[in-house]
Chain A
Amino acid sequence: MLGIPDSYSDYVAWEQLPHLWCAGCGHGIILKGIILSLGELDIPPHKALLASGIGCSGRAGDYVACHRFQGTHGRSLAFATGIAAAQPDLTIVALLGDGDAGAIGGNHLIHATRRNINITTVITNNYNYGMTGGQFSPLTPENSITSTSRSGKTESIMDVCSLVAEAGANYVARTTVYHVGEMHKFFKEAISTKGFSLVEVISPCPTYYGRYNKIGNSPEMLNWLKEKAIPLEKYNSLSQEEKQNFVWRGKLIQRSREDFISKYKKQQSAVK
């Protein structure tokens, strides 16, 4: 199932390794999943672009040999909107962190989705801002201990999947780095979907989130993800109270609204 395509090497900037991520971090698993998917879908490196933001996940662009764009914090989808308009045949994967996508880039996320820009967004949700020392983000669960919520996060969690599903995304799914086969399948489906697609991947940050919340190191965090993340159907069958202890994983939506550039070109040529 997880065969490595021959072209895998072509996407990796081997001379840039080792990477800067901490031992036990999930970002490498996610990046590898994206690269494997591109390879399996036969999208050559010069027809693929990784657009990242700021934070730990933002550094992913330093390790790829395909086209690479790293924007300002939270704005990657706005930059990618222009790239997608100029190069409609390019496969764009936007790799965002939870702060990137949910906080500073929340507005761009809503509107890139609503416009239905032909981009696949992957959110690496490690429940905190790892690069700056483990502060909580909008995607951090309520009551979590972080470096800026020592007695528990007051604010409630933002369900980014429901948000973009409501905003009009053509494909929305969530999984974790523990469920690597499922992650891989979702990536391939999302990249193959024309229009805006999004996969949220919950990923361990043993350096901060795991330590602050006494979950433990990476193996313990992976086990924790295994138990916490349950299939969507199962989650939906739980009572409101039981739901508080779990997070769903699975495919939330798949549809085929016409993407922005295709529709725009069609409308404009009708006027001419």
Chain B
Amino acid sequence: MKNMFIQGNEACALGAINAGARFYAGYPISPVNELSEFCSQELPKLGGIYIQMEDEIGGIAAVIGASLGGMKAFTATSGPGFSLMQENLGYAVMAEVPLVLIHVQRYGLGTGVATKPGQQDMLQARWGTHGDHPIIALVPSTVQECFDLTVQAFNLAERFSSPVLLLTDAAIAHLRERVIIKDAEELNIINRKTPSVSPDEYLPYAPDEKGIPTLAPYGGRHILRVTGLFHDERGYSTSNPEKCRKLLERLHNKILNHQKELPPPKYYGKDGAEIILISYGISARSAREAVERGIKKGINMGMINLQTVWPFPEEHILNLCNKAEKIFVVELNMGQITGEIQKILKGQAEVIPILRYDTNVITPSEILDKIESVVK
């Protein structure tokens, strides 16, 4: 264990390495570069590999290949690069390939403003690739969480045999804070399952009791067959309606039926508060400060800090908001998560967005001013 004063990008890279990742492939893009540079220097020292691919499409493709070859593998990118990765991200969901994709969100749309923060890709993270699909996405709001949730992301990727997204932003990526970095031996690490049957009996896509396949790495006697087409348990393509429906349902249920294993939201402030703020990522830092100031002023308020954003932690939010009358959602976009909250609350409380989308992070004063103007 060591105490370090580092930025979010470095904390993510250290989290990946201490979780056992030894393969990184990607394409240079701001504001991610400290992360990939760190990997290019540190991975080889551990026998790992850094490959700078020709584009982000190739970056995530190489990561999928390395993961199927048995390595823990990851990539990192931002806005335009995340768009390019969508096709193969869907492939990884379909083929159930464990990997971690770190998306350092920058101020978005088009090529945006490359060095400024945003949280404008929250719904793209959920729905960016085509077809019905589940996805796991985590959102750190401190540099410590950049490390901790990256470790968790690798564990969840192996546990669910699925890609996992880690959504940071340009502000948290470059923010420097004191972080406790646990060594690999001090962390609970989940590694890939190995087949319990002989090579003759092995079916790569036969699910276990939790709905998870056992993907033996390429190159072993257990023959691995992988395709992005709908496939049977042997890994050969199929268009059989019954098999297609069952596979699609299994892909969803393997995650949705085990949501309790995903990092729950953190709650700060008064229990059973009438006024609740919901936020995540860098915005949650300002929201938390606003709550502390508000409580000092005598406002009965609390705050939900999301750690998992997809699948949406509906049950947790409904439980934490059961006495709330007004819910303020704080985010750096035009209301992407606000819409999700309105959807699940179905009018049981008033949902008021506090949004900023001008390249700057939102401040505690702005948040508190807005709350006070509504509550009075």
Binding site for B on A (CB under 8 A): 13, 16, 45-47, 49, 59, 61-62, 65-72, 75, 78-87, 89-90, 107-108, 110-111, 115, 261, 264, 268, 271-272
Who on chain B is nearest to A110 by CB? B54
Interface string of B64-105 (1 = CB under 8 A from A): 111111110100000000000001100100000000000000
Structural contact, B69 and A86, CB atoms closer than 8 A: yes
* Residues 192-245 (chain B) with a chain A CB within 8 angstroms: 199, 217-229, 235-237
Known: A67-B225, A79-B61, A90-B219. 10 other contacts (CB 8 A): A72-B61, A72-B91, A78-B61, A79-B65, A81-B65, A82-B62, A107-B54, A107-B58, A108-B54, A264-B49
- Tell me how far the C-beta of A47 lies from the nearest C-beta in chain B, rounded to whole angstroms: 7
Structural contact, A83 and B65, CB atoms closer than 8 A: yes
Residues of A within 8 A of B44 (CB): 264, 268, 271-272
Structural contact, A81 and B51, CB atoms closer than 8 A: yes
Residues of A within 8 A of B49 (CB): 85, 261, 264
Q: Report the 5 A-B pairs with minimum CB-CB distance, sorted nearest first.
A: A86-B69, A82-B65, A78-B61, A82-B62, A268-B44
Given A13-B236, A69-B68, is A85 in contact with B62 using a C-beta cutoff of 8 Å?
yes
Who on chain B is nearest to A81 by CB? B62
How many angstroms between the C-alpha atoms of A49 and B237 in the bound complex? 17
- Tell me how far the C-beta of B144 lies from the nearest C-beta in chain A, rounded to whole angstroms: 30
Any A CB within 8 A of the CB of B34: no
Given A86-B217, A87-B217, is A78 in contact with B228 using a C-beta cutoff of 8 Å?
no
A-B contact pairs, 23 of them (CB 8 A): A46-B221, A61-B227, A62-B237, A68-B223, A69-B227, A72-B91, A78-B54, A78-B62, A80-B65, A81-B61, A81-B65, A82-B25, A82-B62, A83-B68, A85-B62, A85-B69, A85-B71, A86-B67, A86-B73, A110-B54, A111-B53, A111-B58, A271-B44
How many angstroms between the C-alpha atoms of A66 and B220 in the bound complex? 10
Structural contact, B62 and A68, CB atoms closer than 8 A: no
Any A CB within 8 A of the CB of B23: yes
Binding site for A on B (CB under 8 A): 23, 25, 44-45, 49, 51, 53-55, 57-58, 61-71, 73, 87-88, 91, 199, 217-229, 235-237
- Tell me how far the C-beta of B91 lies from the nearest C-beta in chain A, rounded to whole angstroms: 5
Structural contact, B223 and A86, CB atoms closer than 8 A: no
Structural contact, A45 and B223, CB atoms closer than 8 A: yes
Residues of A within 8 A of B88 (CB): 72, 75
Residues of A within 8 A of B54 (CB): 78, 107-108, 110-111
How many angstroms between the C-alpha atoms of A79 and B75 in the bound complex? 13
Secondary structure class of chain A's binding surface, majority of residues: helix
Q: Which of B25, B64, B218, B227 makes the CB contact (< 8 A) with A87? A: B218
Secondary structure class of chain B's binding surface, majority of residues: mixed
Structural contact, B224 and A75, CB atoms closer than 8 A: no
Structural contact, A59 and B237, CB atoms closer than 8 A: yes
How many angstroms between the C-alpha atoms of A108 and B57 in the bound complex? 9
Residues of B within 8 A of A115 (CB): 51
Q: Which of A16, A82, A84 makes the CB contact (< 8 A) with B61? A: A82
How many angstroms between the C-alpha atoms of A30 and B62 in the bound complex? 26
> Which of B25, B57, B67 counts the most A-chain CB atoms under 10 A from its CB?
B57
Residues of A within 8 A of B64 (CB): 79, 82
Structural contact, A70 and B51, CB atoms closer than 8 A: no
Residues of B within 8 A of A87 (CB): 69-70, 217-219
Structural contact, B61 and A69, CB atoms closer than 8 A: no
How many angstroms between the C-alpha atoms of A46 and B61 in the bound complex? 22
How many angstroms between the C-alpha atoms of A136 and B225 in the bound complex? 31
Residues of A within 8 A of B23 (CB): 82, 85-86
Structural contact, A86 and B65, CB atoms closer than 8 A: yes
Structural contact, B62 and A79, CB atoms closer than 8 A: yes
Structural contact, A46 and B237, CB atoms closer than 8 A: no
Who on chain A is nearest to B64 by CB? A79
Residues of B within 8 A of A61 (CB): 225, 227
Structural contact, B65 and A68, CB atoms closer than 8 A: no
Structural contact, B65 and A90, CB atoms closer than 8 A: no
Who on chain A is nearest to B90 by CB? A72
Who on chain A is nearest to B44 by CB? A268
- Tell me how far the C-beta of B199 lies from the nearest C-beta in chain A, rounded to whole angstroms: 8
